[in-house]
A and B are shown apart, each in its own frame.
Chain A
Amino acid sequence: MNDASLENVVPSELPANEEVDLATIYRESNISSLLDQLDRELVGLAPVKTRIREIAAFLLIEKARSQFGLTAGAPSLHMSFTGNPGTGKTTVALRMAEILHRLGYVRKGHLVAVTRDDLVGQYIGHTAPKTKEVLKKAMGGVLFIDEAYYLYRPENERDYGQEAIEILLQVMENQREDLVVILAGYKDRMDTFFQSNPGMSSRIAHHIDFPDYSGDELLEIAQLMLEKMQYQLSPPAEAAMREYILLRLAQPHFANARSIRNALDRARLRLANRLFSEMANGGLGKNALMTLEAADIRASRVFQEATEQQKQ
């Protein structure tokens, strides 16, 4: 094995009067760059970031303790992420795999994202092998179960979801050092899910709630997304975007960052269409190709509906 796990076969213990340098451990783990990146790329989400910092600090201290031969067994790091759509649950799960890998908690640090379909079979005897196969793939990394509450369907007593849950529980308990399970879903439905599966709830140490974004945070997210796609907003377009976000927030089915991304995608379409129709006006500069104008955003259905409502 070419990774760190083989070095742990014979732990060399430090004598009790020695001291470990926490700063060195911190530097060696490269965790600070990862946490900074998290701060930079994820807007808002204060409770989530606090919890990640806590976990990182805890794992570093565990590492320091292990140098003195102080062992407390592998801590349980299974998590549940609850929050409305588009609040960044999957993104954070991906980062979490990376963080846990850097801290040496999981050996490989890959993320296996699954839903009910990947775990639950269609006929008797189909579920256990399916769930086990997924678990085996996730070993050494993080298993991310999206919309985990679909696993449990109380209305159908012959549903095979329960079987998948039982296998999951067994592995979550017995092979804590081999994988981390993250369950994600909407808050209210996850709460019902945990109420009907107390075993699941008690095996998850970290329940993290993802708050909705405020208008300002959404605008910041929009700008981050555009930066990544190499677009920019002209100043009037930025004002339009701000207005758009506030109007959209008030409408039903708002999916936070996901809605923003969709809005930006549509604005890009309109930009392309506009540039196409102005073809006769001559050549295009780099700026014209990457700048979204106010008109591209104001053409949105959201603004039309708002004016219609005012008329009524």
Chain B
Amino acid sequence: MRITQGTFSFLPELTDKEIQAQIQYALNQGWSCSVEYTDDPHPRNSYWEMFGHPMFDLKDAAGIMMEVNNCRKTFPNHYVKINAFDSTRAIESIRLSFIVNRPKDEPGYKLVRQEAGGRTVRYTTVPYSADKPAGKRY
């Protein structure tokens, strides 16, 4: 199951050229980009691992592509995403975030039903990959 998180996730995979163009758009808006990775694709997992520091004062997307490729080389079978942070006063938040690398095989999620009092059923999702310890999932 192909997970869909972040911008462009319902589109076919972006090529490197398209990724670079998107990063360049973010930089032209004055946003700062950072690269993050994880092996826990649960949608509520908002804290991914940072790959190096966020990159400030860059003018050209090539610098961020360098870091993206570096991260892909280090974690070829992890999820990798690019975040673009807008520091404008009163926004001060991520404006664009999209996945640029994913594992070859994504097993998807298991639906768990929990019987609660009064025949209530509580639902939760667990990624199949989360059974294994962190770092050994993909």
Residues of A within 8 A of B (CB): 1-2, 6, 9, 107-108, 110, 129, 132-133, 135-141, 175, 178-179
In the assembled complex, B44 has its CB within 8 A of some CB on chain A: no
CA distance A132 to B63 in the complex (A): 9
Give chain B residues whose Cβ lies under 8 Å from the Cβ of A110: 59
Question: How far, in whole Å, are A140 and B66 apart by their CA atoms in the complex?
Answer: 12
Task: Give chain A's interface secondary structure class.
Answer: loop
Question: How distant is the Cα of A6 from the Cα of B24 in the complex, in angstroms?
Answer: 11
B106 near A: Cβ within 8 Å?
A: no
What A residues does B55 contact at CB under 8 A? 133, 136
Contact of A1 with B25 at beta-carbon distance under 8 Å, contacts A136-B64, A136-B66, A136-B67 already known? yes
Residue numbers in A under 8 Å from B119 (CB-CB):
none
Where chain B touches its partner, the secondary structure class is helix
User: What separation, in Å, do the CA atoms of A179 and B59 have in the docked complex?
Assistant: 12
- Residues of chain B from 32 to 75 with CB closer than 8 A to chain A in the complex: 52-53, 55, 57-64, 66-67
Selected contact of A139 from candidates B21, B52, B60, CB within 8 Å: B60
Tell me if B132 counts as interface (CB < 8 A to partner A). Answer: no
CB pair B57–A139 under 8 Å, yes or no, is no
- CB < 8 Å A-B pair total: 51
* A–B pairs, 15, beta carbons within 8 Å: A1-B24, A6-B21, A132-B66, A133-B53, A135-B63, A135-B66, A136-B63, A136-B66, A136-B67, A137-B58, A139-B58, A140-B61, A140-B63, A141-B60, A178-B62
What A residues does B21 contact at CB under 8 A? 1, 6
B interface residue numbers (CB < 8 A to A)? 17, 20-21, 24-25, 28, 52-53, 55, 57-64, 66-67
Could you tell me the distance in whole angstroms from the C-beta of A9 to the nearest C-beta in chain B?
A: 6
Contacting residues, chain A, for B66 (C-beta < 8 A)? 132, 135-136, 139, 175
How far does the alpha carbon of A107 sit from the alpha carbon of B61 in the complex, in Å?
10
Contacts of B57 in A (CB 8 A): 137
A136 to B59, CA, bound (A): 9
Which among B52, B59, B64 is the interface contact of A108 at CB below 8 angstroms? B59
Nearest residue, chain A, Cβ from B59: A108
- The listed residue with most A CB atoms (<10 A of its CB), out of B52, B55, B57, B63, is B63
Bound Cα distance from A133 to B20, whole angstroms: 18
B28 CB contacts on chain A under 8 angstroms: 1-2
Q: Are A137 and B59 in contact (CB under 8 A)?
A: yes
Complex: how many Å from CA A181 to CA B137? 42
Q: CB-CB < 8 A to B64: which residues of A?
A: 136
Instruction: Output the least CB separation between B74 and chain A (Å).
Output: 14
A178→B17 CA distance, assembly (Å): 14
**Known contacts A9-B17, A129-B52, A175-B66; A140 and B25 CB within 8 A of each other:** no
B71 to chain A, nearest CB (A): 13
B58 engages A136 (CB within 8 Å): yes
B52 / chain A contacts, CB cutoff of 8 Å: 129
Using A1-B24, A129-B52 as known contacts, say yes or no to A137 and B63 having CB atoms under 8 A apart: yes
CA–CA, A140 and B24, complex, Å: 11
Measured between beta carbons, the chain B residues less than 8 angstroms from A178 are 60, 62-63
User: In the complex, A175 Cα to B62 Cα: how many Å?
Assistant: 9
Give the Cβ gap from B16 to chain A, nearest Cβ, in Å: 12
| A137 vs B21: C-alpha distance when bound (angstroms) | 17
Q: For B21, B24, B25, B62, which residue has the most chain A Cβ atoms within 10 angstroms? A: B62
Interface contacts beyond A135-B66, A178-B62: sample of 4 additional A-B pairs, CB < 8 Å, sorted by A: A9-B17, A136-B58, A138-B63, A139-B62
- Chain B residue with minimal CB distance to A178? B62
CA distance A233 to B43 in the complex (A): 73
Q: Are B59 and A141 in contact (CB under 8 A)?
A: yes
